[in-house]
Structure 1
């Protein structure tokens, strides 16, 4: 089977949505299929690259300079340039099937290629592409964007939502004519060399909370930092990630006299990320909304107990008191109370740790990749 995966972000560009699509591409290639990826180019990334068994085609977009964050103009220009390149790739490789990630901005490309080349298009909706409560230009708030998303969803051969919450939002705002499948994000079991806290420059006697993600409003980091002001001084916070709110969040930590306890580690390597996770005590997700939460899979893999907000796709696999404590978004006091509650209950922390190590296996790449391949095979038989 020849598969074309389209995503405006693909590692090293972007965040969780790009990472998840990379895992799928790798999984399909490992099953023996020919997989091509069409994505954006930024900085010094090569226009054509073979990474493992996956062939990556990168197209220049206007104004994309950072790997972590896309600009508005790069989002607008991607569909135009991707459509042109997609047509040439189709003529050369004769793909059997298309998998498009993100209704916006990638969706129009898959829509057009499907109709021109008469090949099935599976649209994967991630969450923030159809619903983001913190963005004024979220498609569910902007009439013209909502119309575009509805058109794209209803034209797809199959729509796969990454969570029940994403499916519910699609139904609520875009009136899909077909049923929507729910397929979780794939997760690759990591292999890394464990380091001690001392090796990572951390103190043995302190308790460490950790949170990973883009420093944007939707992630709710300001509430997590404010919660740190209510926690004992022997608790520190590690934040891994970068983004436009970094300076504002650093200033907030300084204003609250938390400069010595809140550590902004920036972007780190995959291995370093898991090394930090492995020596931490609790993972905290403070997002106002999450489509799914790859970072939670990463925390589960190393057996961390979790404190998480309860609005989004994470509620598909996080169960209150079983593998996480669930709280309302924007609730500073609830974050602090939940952290203290866990630290004072080692038995509950151990229970959550064991449950998370078991639960994460359902997301391993072969399991999730096969769910998509089963859909591909059904579509190709029609």
Structure 2
């Protein structure tokens, strides 16, 4: 549990420093932090209940719905509260001059987490008082974390906060999994489910450990996104893992979004099989191939790509997700295809049909996204961009070609 970062009315110097850094006040967040502290009492109650169930030899597949609901809801409240607090504390520790102020991305993310703590705490208490309470009849479970706030690059203290949250949540998840293993050791016929939980725990731990290794020294700004992706993935898996441990009847139908071994490998530049238009929306390729400026843009895009294999690996994942039906081409409000993204290489805009993980990022049903690949900043010393852009897309007449000199056409 983190300490209260509030310091009363900030001094003029604090306010000026925060303004220069582009930070916003966190007074409301601190109020919700204090109120949300009840989540820690609920997770302690849940852990006591979990140990009692294990001692009694209870089979969690057959307990009253209120029991598993209490465990699940208390876990969710704890994780959300923990993420919010660690993000605040990491930012305050990074610059004590602006305690009580945080970057906008941190404010947005903490708000999204704290906003859900009360509801999950209430459900946990309802379940504790009513053995027939079934949370799965009220909300979809396993629930996802709130959507991640976007920032480019993500502030370093924000990453340290995510890592600290991952460490704290991991410790509780591993204890819960260990207690759970005791309840299924005597051959209840759930070995496959237990192995699935162990696999998820290993995946989350690996993502967290890898991110921690990248954060040991002050990372280059270009690494921030890679670290952020792995920490997001670790926290998302731990959030689901705790829910599956609490309500193991969910394990059989759980969709992690893993594409498995179905991801192919696209031919790279230099190969006779290489298709320089492989990043372009299949529905729009013929049009762009007829455009001389587009031809030149595609040529320059690949010339400036420092790691074409990395670019192609993400596209191969998108292609596999499309083939599996996890994603489809997005449509506008009239049901017409949205077409391609306005920037070179004019990739398709997709909508997610079922949970899927692409480039270490879990995408959720209903989300729209495209794959942005951009070489425009490379000649000036900037980084080559390859990332998923998630948002709400709409038709536009704007066109942006690959232009290393920084000139674009609207």
What band does the TM-score fall into relative to the shorter chain?
under 0.3
TM-score normalized with structure 2 length: 0.22
Larger radius of gyration: 2
TM-score normalized with structure 1 length: 0.23
